[in-house]
Structure 1
Amino acid sequence: MEERAAIPPGLPRPNPTVSYWQDPPSHLAQHRTTQELPVNIDVLIIGSGITGSSLAYNILNGPHPPSVLMLEARTACSGATGRNGGHTKCASYREFLENVRDLGETEAVKILRFQYNTMRAIHAFAREHGIECDSWQGDTVDIFYDWGQWDKATKAVAEIKMVLGEHDPASRYTFYDAKETEQKFLTQNSLGSLQYESGSLSAYKFTIGVLGLALGKGLNLQTETPALKLAKDEESGWIIQTSRGNIRAEKVLLATNGYTAHLYPALQGVIVPLRGHMTGQRSGSGLPEEGLGITYSFIYGNGYEYMISRPPGSKFAGDIMIGGGATKAPDEGLLEWGEANDAVIDDFILNYVLSCTGTYFSSNWGEDSPEGRLRKAWTGVMGFSADGFPLVGRIPGEDGLYIAASFQGNGMVLCFQVARALTAIMNEEHEDELDQWLPKAFRMTSERTKHKFQGKRHSKVLPISHEIKSQG
């Protein structure tokens, strides 16, 4: 893993695999607000995913907005946001016990609420602003195939209910045994399941909608304009070298996730890319034509798959979007770590993800579509940190340089509110108010850059002491 973490990510690759969501591309895909790049700008945002677009909207929505330029190396929203599974799901119970042990109860609850509130906020924003993004809110179910993971889940849910109370919306969890699981969710041969609140949407359409709002407020968006190098200006601010000339910016915001170390090499090995695989599949004849009406994860000893069913009224309603499978590859998918090339698909992982739907649903799957099970396959690059949390704030020792990155493959319940937090930090708003809802564990500090990267946290069953820290 140390060798994999040391691989420089480079720039986003040209001609990446095309995701289900990006076909056809948005009208903003190749947008350039102005023919020429501005020479001077107040705020430069690098990255046009959900983080970058939300930052642009928040900054420009203020009373006295600065000038804001956004650079995207490829087409708009061509990175991880436009390539994910469309799940707005916070499986907070999976990390809750470790967070209580390592950070204390107060901080663990703050992280749980941050994710839950982000999940709710992103759908509310889409409704408020009329963003057509196939927004759906309902429930999810985690199907278990490993007794250690089942035991961990039961302990974590019991702890959450004790801390938050039985009637808190964020503690609404319901367990089902194996027989009930097959009856309710059509999956066979499991140990049982856990149902709780979730949602789904097209993150690509949502982000394009937010970019449209930001453009209406004065954003200058420049696609297919990679930022090549950052340098501190001799007087103040930053010089950004691009493929189309240099720009001077007073403040630079890195919304570059798994590619961050390319522009700021000091974060090499601090934010480590992981290439993920996604598929869009035609559902089997045995599943409901209108879709499954619930989203899924399939939890086993060292990993999981995540799946949504396209809601009624959406394009290809009933299609199954499922991704994962990395830990099924040789060496538990070691070679996917440090891999930032989303123009390539690993055949072994693809074949596993393609076959696992029939395995999970077994005889309930029915026959494959005459057109074949696979509609589309693609990859995307995520970013992970050693401690398993996002990096949010000003980079220590670098005036005017900020970061919001490393979302652990869970960006849909982190990025939208992280952008709100970074906007507050950049504007030097009241720290006491920010501390009430932004977890301290997310804050960018020099200490967090010293941890040795050892892979994804919170996915395996780790020994948890029953002597849990309590902070009231």
Structure 2
Amino acid sequence: MEFEAKQIDAMSKLVSEENIECDWTVTRACDAYIEPEIAAEAKASYEQRCADGGNVSDIHEIPPDDYISVTRVKNVLYGVTFTGASIHPYKLVHHLLNKCVEKGMNLQTNTCVSSATRLPSGEWSIVTSRGTLKASKVIFATNAYTADIVPVLNDKIVPIPGTVCRIIPSINYMLSPLEMTYSIRSNGHNFDYMIPRQIGDRSIILGGAKRTYMYNRKIFYNNCDDSMEFINETSKMYLEEFMPKHFHNWGNDQNGCKQMWTGILGFTSDLLPFVGELPDQSNGYVIAGFNGQGMPRILLCARALVDLVLGRIDKIEELIPEPYIITKNRLETKENYLLDRIATQSDLTHTS
């Protein structure tokens, strides 16, 4: 938690120093729990953290009498807020890429990599759609697609489709806009996330709806098709009905979803990212598999990996949580918590 919290200060500093126009907004984030079992688990977890002496100075429990007034979410059974942020990631990446190109980086777009092989010399051979090249060191920052070119990560990092929509606020919420980011948490491991934009039309970016398709392994697991506007009709209806269903006094406005799209997330078998040098494949480095939680993790993970690649540090665990580090043990374990979650969701779907 503390590592993720550090990302906000690091990103604020980066955006300020580089003068990046990317809609960076520091605000409060709200976790709202709307089903009894997970609400009880969340409260118990917070109380245990307090008992263990953990830092909870930025985690504010919402008083039960204030659930609706603070969260504006119906049927909240438990809620907390903490410092959060939102950003326009494309604008951020576009700015940084432009700066790197200005400094001499050779950026090759529309160039598919089909394989990467470590040679006996210690160099790497990279086969692309436009020819083969050699490199002394390679960083695989290919997230969901990493296993296609790093076979040792097969079944360790898998592509998972996600679906997102843009919603125009109702009249009531135009007059009194949402200011926090949200995670609306329901049964099992399901949650839906929201980023109310604080500029322009103040549209709301809503993503999730995994409960509508996670139980279907063929759709959910190892699927890199992002050509769909939405995953299925059920997920489309879920997102269209979400705001009036869950937000107090939304009203009868029919604006609804203006856009829907899908994207591919890199999920891992143990639900933690892989960062560091590939075991037994020196000079090959990975930063991938962020399980849909890249924004509060990637920046400082990337900085740590660059320090390792450039020899500024000897051990990456000095800078990132040890469970993130790619190890032989993580690669060899047969456990797959992601498949377990799919099985659990299937049970929940067929018993609810």
Structures share a fold, TM > 0.5? yes
Match of residue 158 from structure 1: 47
Instruction: For residue 245 of structure 1, report the CA deviation from its aligned partner.
Output: 1.3
Rate the CA distance shift 1:270–1:365 in 2: closer, same or farther, 3 A: same
Q: Which residue of 1 aligns with 2:200?
A: 315
Question: What's the TM-score once normalised by structure 1's chain length?
Answer: 0.68
Matched, 1:138 2:27: yes
- Equivalent residues in 2 for 1:11-410, closer than 5 Å: 112-164=1-53, 168=55, 171-289=57-175, 291-302=177-188, 303-311=190-198, 314-316=199-201, 318-329=202-213, 331=215, 335-344=219-228, 345-347=230-232, 348-362=234-248, 364-369=249-254, 372-410=255-293
Helix, strand or coil at the partner of 1:413: coil
Q: Secondary structure at the match of 2:82?
A: strand
- Counterpart in 2 of 1:17? none
User: In terms of mean alpha carbon deviation, does 122-131 or 449-458 score higher?
Assistant: 449-458
Equivalent residue of 1:424, what SS?
A: helix
Partner amino acid for 1:322? L
SS class of match (1:278): strand
User: 2-side partners of 1:409 and 1:438: how far apart?
Assistant: 18
3-state SS of 1:367 partner = coil
Deviation at residue 188 of structure 1 after TM alignment: 1.5
RMSD: 2.4
- Give the Cα separation in 2 of the matches to 1:454 and 1:120: 31
Partners of 2:341 and 2:57 in 1: CA distance: 19
Task: Give per-residue Cα distances to partners, 1:23-59, cap 9 Å, x unaligned.
Answer: xxxxxxxxxxxxxxxxxxxxxxxxxxxxxxxxxxxxx
Kindly state the Cα deviation for residue 460 of structure 1 after the two structures are TM-superposed: 12
Aligned partners of 1:384, 1:289: CA distance in 2, in Å? 38
Q: Is the 8 A contact 1:173 1:195 kept in 2?
A: yes
Measured in 2, the distance between the counterparts of 1:376 and 1:141 equals 24
d(CA) in 2 for partners of 1:413, 1:266: 26
Q: Per-residue displacement from partner, 1:1-37 (whole Å, max 9, x unpaired)?
A: xxxxxxxxxxxxxxxxxxxxxxxxxxxxxxxxxxxxx
Q: What is the distance in 2 between the residues matched to 1:393 and 1:435?
A: 9
What's 2:326 paired with? Answer: 444
Summarize the Cα distance change of 1:332–1:182 in structure 2 as closer, same or farther, 3 Å threshold: farther
User: Per-residue deviation at 1:332?
Assistant: 6.4
Check whether the contact 1:181–1:187 (CA below 8 A) recurs between aligned residues: yes
Work out the number of aligned pairs and report it: 340
Instruction: Name the CA distance, whole Å, in 1 between partners of 2:70 and 2:312.
Output: 48
Take 1:278 and 1:186, find their aligned partners in 2: how far apart are those partners?
21
Displacement of 1:458: 9.5
Aligned sequence identity (%): 25
* CA deviations over 1:318-338 (Å, ceiling 9, x no partner): 211010011233726762121
Q: CA deviation at 1:391?
A: 0.7
Give the secondary structure class of the aligned counterpart of 1:397. Answer: coil
Instruction: Find the counterpart in structure 2 of residue 18 from structure 1.
Output: none
Partners of 1:328 and 1:222 lie apart in 2 by: 38
After superposition, the C-alpha distances for 1:373-412 in whole angstroms (9 at most, x for unaligned) are: 1121111111122222111111111122110001111000
Map 1:418-429 to 2 at 5 A.
418-429=301-312
Q: Please state how far the C-alpha of 1:415 moved relative to its aligned partner.
A: 0.7
- The letter for the 1-side match of 2:68 is E
